[in-house]
A and B are shown apart, each in its own frame.
Chain A
Amino acid sequence: QQPVQSPQAVILREGEDAVINCSSSKALYSVHWYRQKHGEAPVFLMILLKGGEQKGHEKISASFNEKKQQSSLYLTASQLSYSGTYFCGTEISPQAAGNKLTFGGGTRVLVKP
């Protein structure tokens, strides 16, 4: 089942912060975050494994709450380059063989000067 992302869209001024949530109805093994700019390929940001680990990429960080089966992506002091659509991708089990992600519907982020 597809994870649910919220909000669907957010508009920020440069320097502002935002949080994007990704929730699943199933127990998750890992959550992956990607960003896709208009007309470009999705680009990997980070992976969070079961365990509540928090990671960072530039001033973008994320957390994974196992109890809630929810991951949150934090955009801190946003820059114009942060504009794009953010997708979370989930795995429900550590698959011994295979690469397969179930992606959320995406969150469109627009950072204005």
Chain B
Amino acid sequence: EVQLVQSGAEVKKPGESLRISCKGSGYSFTNYWINWVRQMPGKGLEWMGRIDPSDSYTNYSPSFQGHVTISTDKSISTAYLQWSSLKASDTAMYYCARRDSSSSDAFDIWGQGTMVTVSS
């Protein structure tokens, strides 16, 4: 079964660092870009950025550039999203999603989501 499995929920304080993960299985991990999408409570979907696991090339939304880092370890088929200094406004659900270049670059497989809560 093709799937993306994300790490569990996190509760952090402002200023703390965090890295969440997204592990792919059931397919060739390096053949598909991984995207990260934010959903703030009660709000819509926002694309944060993407990574090509084959060469770690990344592409960020201007809204998130400089505030998060996307990386990958292809040896364990895992992508990461990390913050060096969290803010309360980072409280949200974060999804990873696989981009399928044969389907108009749509996101055909999604992780289950990781809830990040930032509160003092």
A binds B: no
Binding site for B on A (CB under 8 A): none
Q: Which residues of B contact A (CB under 8 A)?
A: none
